[in-house]
Structure 1
Amino acid sequence: MAALLCWATACSATTPIEQLTDRIDAGASRKFIFEKVESPHDFFELDQQGDRVVVRGNSNVTLAKGLHWYLRHYARIHLSWNAMHARLPDTLPPVTRPERHETDLDLRYDLNYCTFSYTMPFWDWARWEEELDWMAMHGINLPLALVGTDVVWRNVLLRLGYTTDEVNAFIAGPAWQAWWLMNNLEGWGGPNTDNWYRRQEELQRRIVGRMRELDIEPVLPGYSGMVPSNAKAKLGLDVTDPGTWNAYQRPAFLSPTDPRFADIAGLYYDELTRLYGRTRYYAMDPFHEGGNTAGVDLRAAGRAIHAAMKRCNPNAAWVVQAWQANPRRELIAAVPRGDLVVLDLFAESRPQWGDTASTWCRPDGFDGHDWIYCMLLNYGGNVGLHGKMDHVLDEFRKARASRFGATLRGVGMTMEGSENNPVMFELLCDLPWLADSVTLDDWLAAYVTARYGRSVPAAHEAWRLLRHSVYECPAASTQQGTHESIFCARPAADAYQVSSWSDMRDYYDPADVIHAAGLLLDAADELRGSDNYAYDLVDVMRQAVAEKGRLVHAAMRAAVEADDVERFDREASRFLSLILVQDSLLVTRPEFRVGTWIGRARQCGQTPEEQAHYEWNARTLITTWGGRAAADRGGLHDYAHREWNGLLRDFYYRRWKLWIDGTSQALRHGDPLPSIDWYAVEEPWTRDTSPYASTPEGDPIDAARRAYRAIMAAD
C-alpha cells in the first residue's frame, strides 16, 4: 500500500486515537491496530489481523470515525451524548471482510454560536473532553471554537484604553455570549470576574490543543467590525448604529473606511493568535438577524474583513452563516473563490443553496463560493422529539446531484442546542459516508440494533412509528424545532406554541407517539441495563406525556368556551397531574434535571457571590431569557424552555396553577378571564437559589410504567 504510515498498538496508548479508545474503555486500544494512510480523499477502512481489529484512515478523525463505525455495526455499541463510555467484549467480533468508506466531502462542521449558550456555557474540561471524542468519532473536522473569546476582547479593549468597568459593560455574561459575538447585544448578564476569564482561557487552550491532536481544525472567531456602542465617543471612531435586537442595543459597527479598522482588527488577531494560535478558518457574521446596514458600504466591509483575516493567516478562509438575508451578496462579492465557506444553516427546511422549492432560495446559490449542507433542527435547546428524517437524506442527495453540488464541501450540524434527538445527528454525520444504495429503512434498523446492543422487534416497531410521525415533519415545513410542549407555554385558553417564532403546526397523530412509547416499554425486560434504552425510554415517554397534556388542554379550552366550570375543573386537575407525572419521570435521568444545568453553572464560581451570579445566568436564560423588555416586548420569554425535572414542578406547574385557579373563579362567577403579568410571576424564580439535585433518582423503567399508566388513565 503506497505511502503507508502506520503504528501498531503498544502496551500503553501513545497516539491520540489510542488514547481516545482508552477513554471509551480503559485498555481497549490493545484490541485494535490503527494505521494512518495517506490518501487524496478522506476514508476509513476496517480489516482483521489475527484477533485484533484493524482500523485504517488518513487522519485521526477518520480513524475515530472508523472506530465508531466498527463499534456500531460489529460490536453493537453506540456511543452517544448520554453514554460516552462502554465495556468492550474481551474478544472483539471479527471483521470478516475488509470494509471501506470514502468521501470527497472534506469539511464536516459542528456547532452554532447559540450552542455555546444554550448547551455549553458552563461545561468543564471533563465534559468538553467527551464532546471532542464524540466529534472525532462522528467524523467532525471543522467545529466552531468560541470558548475564551471574551478574554480576547477584554485584552483588546484594555489595550485601546478602556477601563475594566467599561470592558465589563461590553462583554456579556456566560449565558449570553453567543448573541454578543453575533453583534446582537452587549453587556447583558455580566460583569464577568477575573476568575471567569482565567477559567475560560485555560479551557480554550485545552480545547484547541485537543482538537489539533485529533486533526480537527478549529473555527476561531475572526474580526467582523464589532466595537462597543460607545466607541465613537470613547475612541473617536467612525461607526454606524446597527439598531436593536429584540429590545437589546447592538454593538456599533466600525466603518471599513475608518483608518483604524485595520489597526483594531490587527490588535484583535494578535491577541487571538497569542492565546489560541492560528487556524485556517475564521467565523465572522456581521449584521446577524436584521442588523441595520444603512450607511455601510457592504462591498468595502467585506474587503476589509477579508483583508484583516488574510493578514493574520494568508491561507485562511472566512466561514459565514447563511441565515435570513445573511450573508449579503454585496458583502461577499469581492471575496475570492476558495476564501469563503458558507454554512447553509437551515438547509433541511429553508435551504439557500439554490433549491427553488425553498422560501429562502438564492437562485444563484452562493455565487460560486464553497458551502456546507447543514441541519439546524433544534432551537433554544428545547427538549422534544423532532426531525425530517427522510427529507434530510433526500435533500442532501438532491443538493449533491444539482449544479450547486460542485461547490458543496460537506455537511454540518448547526443546532442551537445539542444533547437531544441523537438519531437525527447520527444520520446527518453518516451522510458523507453512505452509499447511494443505502435506504433509510436499512439505516434506521442498523441504528436501533446498535443503540440497544441487540435487535428487539418491539423497539424496531417503536422507531418505525416515530420515524413516520414526529420524525416526519413535512418537507415544506419551516417549523423552528420541536412540536413544543404545552406545559412550557405561558398559560391561556388558546395557548398553542411556546416560543414567539416557533411557527409550529400539527403534522402527526399524537396517538402514534403514545403507542411508540408503549412499544418501547414492552421491550423493557429484554433491554434493561442498556443506558441508551433507558435514556430513549424516558425521552419518548416524556414526549408521550406532553402529547397527552396537549389533548387535555384542548378539553380545558372547550370547557372555557362552553362556560362549563365543572368540566374545566376536572380537565384542569388532569392537566396539572400530568405536569407532575412528567416531573417525576424525568427525575430518573440527569440529562432531564434542571439541577444538572444549575449545578454546572455554580461549579464555575469560586465565591458564593460568583456562584449565585452564574446560577442567575442559568435560570434566566431558560425562563424569561432576559429582562422585562426582552421577555415581553422582544418576545424572548420561554424561547429556551426545557421540559426538565424541577423546572416543571416549580416553574411551569405553578404558572399553570395560577391561571387555572383564576380561570375557575372567573367561570364560577361570570367574570372576565384573569389578566396576569407573567413576567412578574416568572422573574422571582430566576433570583431564587433553592438547591436542585442532579443525580438520578429511582428506576427509569418503573417511572416510565407509572407515566404510561397515567397517560392511559387520563382517557
Structure 2
Amino acid sequence: MRRHIIYILLTYCFTLSSLAANPIKGLLERIDKGASNKFIIEVVNKQGDDFFELDQKGSKVVVRGNNYVNIATGVNWYLKYYAGIQLSWNGMSAKLPKVLPPVKEKKHFQTPLKLRYDFNYCTFSYSMAFWGWDRWEKEIDWMALHGINLPLAVVGEECVWFNMLKDLGYSKKEINEFIAGPAFLAWWEMNNLEGWGGPNPDQWYTQQTILQKKIIKRMREYGIEPVLPGYSGMVPHNAKKKLGLNVSDSELWNGYVRPAFLQPTDSRFQEIAALYYKELEKLFGKANYYSMDPFHEAKGIENVDLDAAGKAVMNAMKKVNPKAVWVVQGWTENPRDEMIKNMKNGDLLILDLFSECRPMWGMQPSIWYRKKGYLQHNWLFCMLENFGANVGLHGRMDQLLHNFYATKNNPLAKHLKGIGLTMEGIENNPVMFELMTELPWREERVTKESWIKEYTAARYGATDNTINEAWSILINGIYNCPQGNNQQGAHESIFCGRPSLNNFQASSWSKMENYYDPTTTEDAARLLLSVADKYHGNNNFEYDLIDIVRQAISDRARIVYNKTIADFKSFDKKSFEIDSQEFLKLLLAQDKLLGTRKEFRVGNWIQQARALGKTQEEKDLYEWNARVQITTWGNRYSANKGGLRDYAHKEWNGILKDFYYKRWEAYWQVLRDVLAGKPMIELDYYAMEEPWTKETNVYSSSPEGDCVTTAKEVFQTAFNR
C-alpha cells in the first residue's frame, strides 16, 4: 500500500514537472482536461523567421514551431480553423472533440514580424486594476495563443517605488501621498498625477509583489519577454525641497499635481536611477526591455535638454543590462526627435500607438504624420482600438488592412519589427483583436469580406448564411470607421453622457463623428435573433448576440433622444412625454439585457475589486476606486473643469439603472418643467454622481436570465413600431 502511494506521488510530481517544462501542455489542460494527450508538441531550433506548422501523426495533431509562443499560436490556429473552436476573453476553455479533426496536409506559417507587443499603461487600470492570479493566468494564455511575445508588465511597479522612496528618506505617509490608488496607477506611472485613489494599505504592496512574480515566471516559461517599467526621471513634486534635486517646475494635469521631472544634468540623476533599478531587480529581476515615456502629454519642457535627457535615461538602463532595449510610446509629440536622433539603431523600440487611424511612422495622411518616420529606429505597427475601456462595437477594418499592407514596400517602414496591441481597455470587440493578431501570419493579403466568413465559422463552430449576412452589415458599417474620422474608440452610448440639449459624445475627448447608419445595427441584431434558437448555449454566439443587440438599442436610443429634444424645442408637450418615456424605457431594457452576461455587469468589476481586499476597510477602498474610475473619474474639479468625468463610462447592467437612469430622469423632468412654464435650472451632476461612488450596496457578478429569451424580449420592446 505504501509503495502504491509513493508511486502515485512520484507520478503526480512527474506530471507537474512535465507541465512546467512544457507550458503548452499546461495550456492545453487549462483549455480542456486531457487535451494535451491529443496533441504532439515539437520545438524546432531553427533560426530565421518565426514559424509554426500543423501536421498529423496517427490520431494526434502535431504542432511544431521554433518557440513555445509560436507553437501556442499554432494550437490556436488549429482550434479555430480545423476544430471550429475560438478561445476568447469571453471564454478561455472549451470541450474538444474526442477525436480531433485531422490535418490532412502539413501547413506551414511564418512571419518576419518577430516582435508582437501587448498593452497600454491604461489597460492595467481600466481593465486589470483588480485582477488576481486566476485572471492573469488566463490572460497570459490568451497572449500566447495570439502570438504575443513582448507584453508590458508593470504590475507591482508601485512596490519598487515604495522601497526606493523609503531608501531616499520618505516616510510611509509621504510615499502614500505620492503613489496612486489601484484604479489610477496608470496615470501615476505616466507622470500625470500623484496620490489619487490612495493611500494604499500595506497588504496591497505585499500581494502585488507576489502577483507580479507569478506573472513574470509564467511569461518566461512561455519564452515571453516582459517589458518592465524603467526609470526616466519621475520624482515626487516636492523632491526639490525634500531632496535638494534640480527638478522641473510643478504643473497640473486636469486639476492634479503632476510628479516633477528630475533634470538629466542633475548630478544625482544616475544615483536615483541606479537606486530604482536596484529595487526593481531585487523584486522582479532584470529584463531585456524597459518601458519609459518621459514627457508624456507634458507641457513646459522648452528648457529641457532633450538630447541629454534621452542619453541619461538610456545610460541608466544600459548600466543594468547593456543589451536592454528602451520601449517608448509614439504618441502626440513623443518621442521627440531631439531626444532620439543621436541614439543608435537597436537601442530603441517605438510603439506607433494608433497605426490603424493616425500612423506617425511616415505614411500619409495622418494628423500626427512624421515626414521622416522614426528615423533610424525600430518600431511596431500598433492598433489602439479602444479608449477608456468603453463598451461599444467599433473597428477600422479597411483602415487597418490598408495601413498594415502599406508598410510592405514603404522605405520608411524598413525598421518595422512587428505589431502591437495598445488598447486602453480589453475584453471588447474580439473580432478586431483576432484580425490584428492573425495579420503577421497570413502570407497573402486578406480582405475583410473573406476573413469575416472564416472568423464566424471559427467563432460559432458552423457556417451560417444568416450570420454571415449580419456580420457583412457590421463590417461595412460600425466596424468600418473610415479614414479621416479621428474618433477615439467606440461610438459612445447616449445613455452614458451627462444629459444636455446637445448630447453626442459621452466623454470629453472622443472626437466622435457619425460614420454609419444607426439602423444597420438593428438589422444585424434582427438577423442574429432569427437564428438564435439554433445557437442557444453557444457561448461565443450568446456573447455576441447580447453585445450586438446592446448596440442596436443604444443606437435606437440616440434616435429617440434627438426626437425628444426636437419635441422640446418645438414645444410639443405630448410628443415630448411619449419620447422621453420611451428613452427611459430603452435604458431600463438595456440594463435588463446586459444582466444576462457576467462581462456586462458592473458587479463583475466591483466584486473583483472587493475580492482583493483582506479587511473591510481595504474592500471599501478598492470598491471606491472601482466606482469612481468609471463615473466621475476624479474629484469635482477634475471631473467638471478637467473634463475627466465619464471618460471610462461603462454601458453595464446595474450602473445603467442606478446611475445613468437617475441623471436622465432628472434632466427630462427639468425640461418637462420648462414646458410647464418654469424657468430652466442647471443640474449639479457631480452632486448627483458622487454619492454613488461612496456606496457599498451589493452588485452581483452572476448573470440573470436566459441570453436568447431576454434578447428577444428586449428587442421586441425596443423595436416594436
TM-score interval, normalised by the smaller of the two chains: over 0.9
Matching residue of 1:322 = 330
Counterpart position of 1:365: 373
Q: By how many angstroms is 1:13 displaced? A: 7.7
Q: Per-residue deviation at 1:189? A: 0.6
Match of 1:265 among 262, 273, 284: 273
| Distance apart, 1:242 and its partner CA | 5.5
How much does 1:14 deviate?
5.0
Question: 1:247 & 1:228 partners in 2: Cα distance?
Answer: 16
Structure 2 unmatched ranges of 5 or more: 1-14
1:38 shift after superposition: 1.7
2:535 pairs with 1:527: yes
- Partners of 2:395 and 2:58 in 1: how far apart? 42
In the alignment, which residue of structure 1 is the partner of 2:654? 646
* 1:444 Cα deviation after fit: 1.0
Question: SS of 2:393's equivalent?
Answer: coil
Q: Is the 8 A contact 1:372 1:410 kept in 2?
A: yes
Q: Of 689, 693, 697, which residue of structure 1 is paired with 2:696?
A: 689
Matches for 1:252-651 after TM superposition, within 5 Å: 252-651=260-659
- Cα distance between partner residues in 1 of 2:54 and 2:315: 44
Q: Distance in 2 between matches of 1:229 and 1:288?
A: 16
CA offset digits 1:524-561 (Å, max 9, x no partner):
12211210001000000000000010000010110111
Q: Aligned partners of 1:527, 1:279: CA distance in 2, in Å?
A: 46
How much has 1:10 moved relative to structure 2? 11
Corresponding residue for 2:25? 18
Paired with 1:438 and 1:602, the residues of 2 have a C-alpha distance of 44
Residue 245 of structure 2, aligned match among 220, 224, 237 = 237
Are the counterparts in 2 of residues 13 and 29 from structure 1 also a CA contact under 8 Å? no
* Aligned residue identity for 1:218: P
Which ranges of structure 1 fall in alignment gaps of 5 or more residues?
1-7
* C-alpha deviation, 1:510, in angstroms: 1.0
- Confirm or deny that 1:222 pairs with 2:230: yes
Question: For residues 648-673 of structure 1, what are the alpha-carbon distances to aligned partners after superposition, in whole Å with 9 as ceiling and x for unaligned?
Answer: 0000001100111111011111x343
Q: CA deviation at 1:515?
A: 0.4
Q: Decide whether aligned partners of structure 1 residues 505 and 672 sit closer, same or farther in structure 2, where only a CA change above 3 A counts.
A: farther
Distance 1:400 1:673, change over 3 A: farther
User: Does structure 2 retain, via aligned residues, the 8 Å contact 1:45–1:99?
Assistant: yes
Shift in Å, 1:442 = 2.0
**Distance (whole Å) between structure 2 residues aligned to residue 208 and residue 290 of structure 1:** 31
**Equivalent residue letter for 1:429:** T
Q: C-alpha distance in 2, partners of 1:334/1:14?
A: 43
* Whole-Å separation in 2 of the counterparts to 1:292 and 1:410: 33
* Residue identity opposite 1:652 in structure 2: Y
Letter in 1 for 2:246: D
Corresponding residue SS for 1:412 = strand
SS in 2 for 1:401: coil
Q: 1:189 is matched with which residue?
A: 197
Letter in 2 for 1:20: L
Match for residue 76 of structure 1 among 81, 84, 107: 84
CA contact (8 A) 1:225 1:305 kept: yes
Contact 2:405 2:445 in 1 (8 A): no
Question: What secondary structure is seen at the aligned counterpart in 1 of 2:414?
Answer: helix
Residue 5 of structure 1 corresponds to which residue in structure 2?
Answer: none
Deviates more, 1:504-513 or 1:329-338: 329-338
Name the counterpart of 2:66.
58
Deviation at 1:493, TM superposition (A): 2.0
Question: Deviation at 1:41?
Answer: 1.4
In 2, the alpha carbon distance for the partners of 1:292 and 1:434 equals: 45
| CA distance in structure 2 between the partners assigned to 1:193 and 1:489 by the alignment | 33
Q: Once superposed, what is the RMSD of the aligned Cα atoms?
A: 1.3
Q: Whole-Å Cα distance in 2 between the matches of residues 13 and 371 of structure 1?
A: 33
CA apart distance, 1:11: 9.3
Contact kept, 8 Å, 1:168 with 1:187, in 2: the verdict is yes
Structure 1 partner of 2:719: 712
Matched residue SS, 2:281: helix
Structure 2 distance, partners of 1:143, 1:519, is 38
Contact 2:460 2:540 in 1 (8 A): yes
Question: How far, CA to CA, are the matches of 2:55 and 2:566 in structure 1?
Answer: 63
- CA gap 1:147/1:492 in 2 versus in 1, 3 angstroms: same
With 520-529 and 70-79 compared, the bigger mean Cα shift is at: 520-529
Structure 2 equivalent of residue 3 of structure 1: none
Measured against aligned partners, the alpha-carbon deviations of 1:368-405 in whole angstroms (never above 9, x if no partner) come to: 20010001010101000001112201110002221122
SS of the residue 1:372 aligns to: strand
Given that residues 148 and 200 in structure 1 are in contact (C-alpha distance below 8 angstroms), is that contact kept between their aligned partners in structure 2? yes
1:34 aligns with 2:41: yes
Q: How far apart are the structure 1 equivalents of 2:624 and 2:364?
A: 45
Whichever residue aligns with residue 173 of structure 1, its letter is G
CA contact (8 A) 1:623 1:682 kept: yes
- 1:163-184: per-residue Cα shift (whole Å, max 9, x none)? 0000001000000000000000
Select the residue among 676, 697, 701 that pairs with 2:683.
676
Question: What is the distance in 2 between the residues matched to 1:215 and 1:701?
Answer: 41
Deviation readout 1:405-443 (Å, 9 max, x if unpaired): 210011111000100000001111011011224332221
Query: d(CA) in 2 for partners of 1:504 and 1:495?
Result: 11
Change (3 A) 1:316 1:371: same
Residue 708 of structure 1 and its aligned partner are, at CA, apart by: 1.1
Q: What is the SS of the residue equivalent to 1:34?
A: strand
SS for the counterpart of 2:406 is helix
SS class of match (2:659) = helix
- Residue from 134, 152, 164 that aligns with 1:156: 164
| Paired letter, 1:260 | R
Distance 2:631 2:20 in 1: 45
Cα distance in structure 1, aligned partners of 2:101 and 2:44: 24
Percent identity reads 54
Aligned to 1:4: none
User: Structure 1 residues 157, 11: closer, same or farther in 2, change over 3 A?
Assistant: closer
My pick for the range that moved more, 139-148 or 474-483, is 474-483
1:176 aligned residue? 184
Contact 2:20-2:221 at 8 Å conserved across structures: no
Name the stretch that deviates more: 239-248 or 476-485: 239-248
Are the equivalent residues in 2 in contact too, given 1:624–1:636 (CA < 8 A)?
yes
Q: For residue 9 of structure 1, report the CA deviation from its aligned partner.
A: 13
Paired residue type of 2:406 = K
Equivalent position SS for 1:172: coil
Q: Is the 8 A contact 1:10 1:30 kept in 2?
A: no
**Alignment pair present for 1:106 and 2:114:** yes
Quick check: 1:488–1:642 contact (8 Å CA) kept in 2?
yes
* Residues 1:291 and 1:147: Cα distance change in structure 2 (over 3 Å): farther
Runs of 4+ in 1 over 4 A off after TM superposition: 8-14
Q: Report if aligned partners of 1:226, 1:253 keep a CA contact under 8 Å in 2.
A: yes
Q: Distance in 1 between matches of 2:21 and 2:85?
A: 24
Query: Residue type of the partner of 1:196?
Result: W
1:210 — aligned with what? Answer: 218
